[in-house]
Structure 1
Amino acid sequence: MTEETGRKVLLPVDLSDNAMRAVQWYFKYGKLPNDDVILFHSVDTSTIIPGTDFTWAEPLPVEAVETNLKNKEKEAKELKIKCENVLKEAAVKGEYVDAIANHAGEAIVEYCTKHKVDYIIMGNRGMGAIRRTFMGSVSDYVLHHARIPITIIPPPLQ
């Protein structure tokens, strides 16, 4: 990072309010003039096979997987358009990046390492300690595995 090029800032995004709150926070409080913004979306492949009672010993529910893939594709296209509009309205240098991974947190950390990202700003869902222990949390994973500064924007107080 130099004064000329600024920072590479990664903002993980999805269609959730928490992700968009983090993007808004960045543009309101964190943006520096020469930042290069990456709006990063990772499709989590573990969510493509629907249903909690599915086991690998059973035949793959092809129709359900195809429907879910089409829905994920539609969501990704909608998100890309939304993100491109955010960048255009903010008049910043940046891009939207899509990735496919087994775990969004791993994809974020891998992208940041490979592309020499300087800073991550992301939202979290505000899961309780018990739920986070069993399910894991993308923001928790990134916080503990990325080797760069991270700002996590919490959900609003209820």
Structure 2
Amino acid sequence: MKILLAVDGSDYTDRMLSYLAAHKEWSGAGHDFTVFHVVLPVPHRAAAFAGPEIVHGYYEDDARMVLEPVRGLLARNGIEARFEHRIGHPAEEIAAFAQKGKFDLVIMGSRGHGALTNLVLGSVANKVLAACTVPVLLVR
């Protein structure tokens, strides 16, 4: 199974990774994992003021800070994965990457707001569910 692990460095990502590590059937043969992180874009005016080198460095640093702990945790649990990151809006990028990459499943953590909070604020997980044609497993 080709599985996309959407991560953001939050406690909810940690819960999802702990779930994955605790269920050894996920690390079994036949699964192909890709860890995916989306870095929010720097506002246009801030990017113009800072310059392309600083902005590019920011994007790379953000991705490294999120992906390196995940890389270590997966390695300790014997799970091999590829690592990717993009710049953009998380829900849109996750759904597009999952569909273009022909993944069988997206796994991601979810905060688990109540229905009213999700209605008012929305959530990345809800937006991924709405936009993605690939099945999504949310871990709370």
TM-score (ref. length: structure 2): 0.80
RMSD of aligned residue pairs (Cα, Å): 2.7
Matched, 1:116 2:102: yes
Does the aligned pair in 2 maintain the 1:87–1:95 contact within 8 Å?
no
Q: Separation in 1 of the partners of 2:32 and 2:9?
A: 22
Q: Which residue does 1:93 correspond to in 2?
A: 80
1:152 Cα deviation (Å)? 0.8
- 1:43 deviates by 0.8
In the alignment, which residue of structure 2 is the partner of 1:150? 136
Q: Secondary structure at the match of 1:31?
A: helix
Q: Is the Cα contact below 8 Å between 1:36 and 1:94 reproduced in 2? A: yes
Which residue, 126, 130, 133 being the options, matches 1:140?
126
2:39 to 36, 43, 55: 43
Instruction: Tell which has more relative contact order, 1 or 2 (C-alpha 8 A, sep 6+).
Output: 2
Contact persistence 2:104–2:134 (CA under 8 A): yes
- 1:71 deviates by 5.3
- Which has the greater radius of gyration? 1
**Alignment partner of 1:20 out of 14, 17, 31:** 14
| Aligned-pair CA distance for 1:141 | 0.8
Greater share of residues in helix: 2
| Paired residue total | 136
Q: Deviations over 1:66-117 (max 9, x none)?
A: 988765543321222212212322222311111111x201101100111110
CA distance in 1, matches of 2:2, 2:80: 10
Identity of aligned residues (%): 27
Gaps of 5+ in 2: none
Once the two structures are superposed, what CA deviation does each residue of 1:108-134 show, in whole Å capped at 9, x if it has no partner?
110011111001111112334444334
Distance change (3 Å), C-alpha of 1:132 and 1:94: same
